[in-house]
Amino acid sequence: MDREQMKKIIENPPEYDESKEDTMRQWFIDGYSKRMRWITFGVCAFYLIIMVPMVFSAIQFFRTDQIRHQIMYAAIFLFCSHWMGFESVFAWVMMQRPRSSRERKRLELCIAELIETIKEKQSGSSQLPAPTPFFAREIGVCSGNCVSSRSSENK
């Protein structure tokens, strides 16, 4: 593939396909799917468990007169509020897992398609063969003449 062809591909990217775009609706459907049900129940249960000492410490903070107890109740309240924040981040990360694995799979397919396109372009010309990327064997695009780094280390 010469520079003109590469420049043409870069300047004229393929059209945007909205059907491949993840919407907020799809994100919530994936997050609250049957597979994620126990994670959702767990996060909600932890919210309820943490809310009890949080509300109790907030009420006791304003009822007590001693500074020592106010500091203790404030510390309990802050710990519980931070714990709820950590639980929220955990739930968000767990909801993103299906989306990120789907995006990774799309990327692997695009790379495989690009490798095939490069091989087709080079088969018509008499240039040297393109180097095979290290991930080509994993996604099934590598032909029999690929040498992985593991097999070269064993020799």
Sorted by where each begins, the domain ranges of the chain are: 22-125
Digit-coded pLDDT (tens) for 133-150: 555 555 554 444 444 444
DSSP letter assigned to residue 19: G
Distance (Å, rounded) from C-alpha 22 to C-alpha 40? 21
The pLDDT > 90 percentage for the chain reads: 28
**pLDDT per residue as tens digits for the range 4-21:** 766 666 666 666 556 666
CA dist list (Å): 99 to 21, 29, 63, 88: 11, 11, 47, 18
pTM: 0.51
Q: Which residue has the higher pLDDT, 18 or 78?
A: 78
132, pLDDT greater than 70: no
The pLDDT of residue 149 is 42
Sequential DSSP letters for 113-126:
HHHHHHHHHHHHS-
